[in-house]
Structure 1
Amino acid sequence: MSYQLSAVVADIELLREQTADLDHAVLAALRQDFALLPVTPQLVQELTGRPPDFATDGPCAERPFELVLSPPLAELLARWSTGGPVAYLEAEFTGGLGHQSAVVWLGGDVSWGPRYDNALDRPRAEWPINTALTRLGVEPGAWIDPFAELGLHLERDTDGWLAHGRRGLSADYWDELADEWELRQSGPHQQPLGPGPVGDWGNA
């Protein structure tokens, strides 16, 4: 199974304020009052006035992102960070192999990263995306790491996150569906009928 991510993550109110007038911005709700902004070619064009560039030979430690963070795009995200920390996250995995990268801005400057990792042989807390999310202020909870705590595992690619945002789904949507299904299965109308009079069983 594959997984692909190219998104900005920040406080939901910060992103709502910065994207309110954009035609191609779709916000997907995450847990802990964060939101995810899928980065599409149309969004980059709208933000910078030019189409995006992509690394031709794939990301690496020296060039950690597939999307080239051009000066206009990086400067815009830095400006957003004057209202709170902002992270750009990338990941791509197929069959357990892949990479993840992240960078965080705060107060108008890069505050951490960029960081690239295609081995992920360090403790989970030190993986690029988890480290970036911690710097955003994600609190530990019941899930295994900040990535899962926010719900970044819920969709598998940009199209999934766009649909998630357009439908206004919460980060707990799938859990809510499962709970609803279990409730229906265990509701009174789904329970076996209790034994009636003996006559009901043909013994009267």
Structure 2
Amino acid sequence: MSYSIQSIVAFRGVYPAELPAGLALVQLNDDVQMIPLGSIAREQYGIPFLPLTDDGDIEFPPSIQELCRQLSAGGDLAYIEAEIFGGAGVQASVLVGAGGRVGSVIVAHDAINAALCSLGVPRHNGGDEFASLALGRCRETDAWIDHAQE
């Protein structure tokens, strides 16, 4: 079974009141919101598909940096991505501070949890931050966009 996600996450109030065109907002648990970077957003903003996990880049793509800069005026956020197939996979994350201060690229088996922990996402019922936000609910990024429109 495969799983992939490419998104930007932050607590409510971080993103601007009006999102840039082509972006959808998904409400997660614990007052966290996610902007999935699905196929339409990637095409519109020139964002590569899973550049840190699929392509193995160690540089944060300028197109994603710019979008995160626009979205981070109200506080800290995290860019997250993961690709898992048949139980094996990799995760990546980048923290972006208020106003666009870009942190280091982290590629590791727990990169998403590390970023969510840094943002202050709580753990529930003995699970990790990923489980607390129910990020496994959809198997791929475009499905999150469909979920947001329901």
TM-score bin, normalised by smaller chain: 0.7 to 0.9
Higher relative contact order structure (alpha carbons within 8 Å, sequence separation ≥ 6): 2
Equivalent pairs counted in the alignment come to 147
Match for residue 82 of structure 2? Answer: 91
- Deviations 1:71-100, CA, capped at 9 Å, x for gaps: x43133124323111111110111101111
**What TM-score, normalized to structure 1?**
0.64
Deviation for aligned residue 1:104:
0.7
Instruction: Please give the alpha-carbon distance, in whole angstroms, between the structure 2 residues aligned to 1:152 and 1:138.
Output: 12
Report the counterpart of residue 7 of structure 1 in structure 2: 7
Structure showing greater Rg: 1
> Contact conserved, 1:87 with 1:132, CA < 8 A, in 2?
yes
Report 1:1-204 matches (<5 A). Answer: 1-15=1-15, 17-19=17-19, 22=21, 24-46=22-44, 48=45, 51-54=46-49, 55=51, 58-60=54-56, 63-64=57-58, 69-70=61-62, 72-107=63-98, 108-110=100-102, 112-117=103-108, 120=109, 127-167=110-150
Unaligned runs of 5+ in 2: none
Normalising by structure 2, report the TM-score.
0.84
Identity %: 30
Structure in which a larger fraction of residues adopt strand: 2
The 8 Å contact of residues 41 and 52 in structure 1, kept in 2 or not, is answered as no
- 1:183 is matched with none
Unpaired segments ≥5 residues, structure 1: 121-126, 168-204
CA contact (8 A) 2:72 2:97 kept: yes
Instruction: In structure 1, give the amino acid aligned to 2:55.
Output: P
- In structure 2, distance between residues paired with 1:44 and 1:160: 14
Relative to its length, the structure with more helix (as a share) is 1
